[in-house]
Amino acid sequence: MPATYELITTTTLGSAQSSVTFSSISGSYTDLVAVINASASGATGAWFNTNASGANLFSDTRLSGNGSSATSARRSSQDESVFTDSSEVGTTFSFVAVLNFMNYSDTTTFKTVVSRSGSAGASTTTAVCLRRDTSAINSITFDLVGAGTYSSGSTFKLYGIKEA
């Protein structure tokens, strides 16, 4: 990562679990970047939530492609935002995802998150999310769409971007 990126924390799963949460996130950076290298089973995608907020705060637009076809989806007033869609590969999949949380600590604007993810040999997804709330993000939870678990060995890293 560039010198302006500072590793805040890393979680490597020692056993399967259904979600991963980064909590007590400092507000001392301009943006956050989450990098996920995971495999999962029993699910058809992955989503995130911030501050355990729910309350229908999220809207997102996703574009997915698998090399021969493309799909798009738009949702509004959701309790979470989907950042990877693996419906093309069933309920067992591996993926890499990078999520950019912009102006996460600003308390005067809504939050925007841009994500890119890919599942080797299956699909790639790009999504943009709007979180309609001005409170600073101090926790992020990554969970799975449908019942499922992240596999042992999956890694979740959170970086803070320092002000230039």
* CATH number for the domain harbouring residue 126: 2.60.120
Q: Is residue 24 very low, low, confident or very high in pLDDT (cuts 50, 70, 90)?
A: very high
pLDDT digits (tens, 9 = 90+) for 3-12: 689 999 999 9
Q: Is residue 86 very low, low, confident or very high in pLDDT (cuts 50, 70, 90)?
A: low
CA angle 27, 22, 93 (to 5 degrees): 135
Q: Which residue has the tokens 């993926």?
A: 95
User: Do the domain assignments include residue 117?
Assistant: yes
State the pLDDT at residue 152.
95
| Averaged pLDDT of the chain | 88
Contact 117, 96 (CB under 8 A): yes
Backbone angles phi, psi at 78, to 5 degrees: -110, 160
Give the domain extent around 60: 5-158
User: Do the domain assignments include residue 163?
Assistant: no
Kindly report the pTM of this predicted structure.
0.91
* Whether residue 164 has pLDDT greater than 70: no
Domain count of the chain? 1
3-state SS class at 124 = strand
State the pLDDT at residue 151.
93
Contact 143, 154 (CB under 8 A): no
User: Do the domain assignments include residue 95?
Assistant: yes
User: Do the domain assignments include residue 164?
Assistant: no
User: Do the domain assignments include residue 110?
Assistant: yes
* Whether residue 44 has pLDDT greater than 90: no
User: Do the domain assignments include residue 82?
Assistant: yes
List strands edge to edge, sheet with 20-22: 20-22, 140-144, 45-50, 81-85
